[in-house]
Amino acid sequence: MVGCHIDGVCINNISYADDMVLLSPSMGGLRKLLRTCEAYAVPHGLKYNAKKSEFMVFKAAGMNYTQLLEVSLCGTVLSRVSKFKYLRHWVTENLNDNCDIERERRSLAVRCEGLEHRPSRCFNAGWGLHTLSEECEPSSTCRFHHAENYHEGEPSPKSS
């Protein structure tokens, strides 16, 4: 069976609603999976959108795949990508999660900035907010500290 074998289980697709990811350890296996999908679609009245389809090759240690044969779906050649987004998460060819971490860092910075403009939300709960400006990064980064006996309107106590 074509697919990636993980702990004795063959996995060749991950599907959610109308999104599908095909997994294969080789280009030949990927082509076989695509032909299987095409053959299944015809009698079941399904149609793949080849213009929204793409493929990615994970980089194995020491391997550099620069010359690859074409991969096509329904007669349309698919584009090779180095990353794609699947269910709100980025999948990259080198399997790192820097894109997801950066997205979460930006989201946290926006939320911290929102708290800075509404300090009563922090201080009523006994927490203070100290914004780091040039101390660490030029981007909006914040640090929380517990503010015992802190009253709104007073200057924020410096954290040590």
Same domain, 12 and 90: yes
Q: What is the pLDDT of residues 50-100, one digit of tens each?
A: 888 988 888 776 666 667 788 899 899 998 888 888 888 888 887 778 878
Residue closest to 68 by CA, chosen among 114, 24, 35: 24
Per-residue pLDDT tens digits for 118-138:
655 555 555 554 544 444 444
| Judgement on whether residues 15 and 76 belong to the same structural domain of the protein | yes
Do 55 and 130 have their domain in common?
no
Q: What does the block give as tokens for 156?
A: 């924020």
- Count of domains in the chain? 2
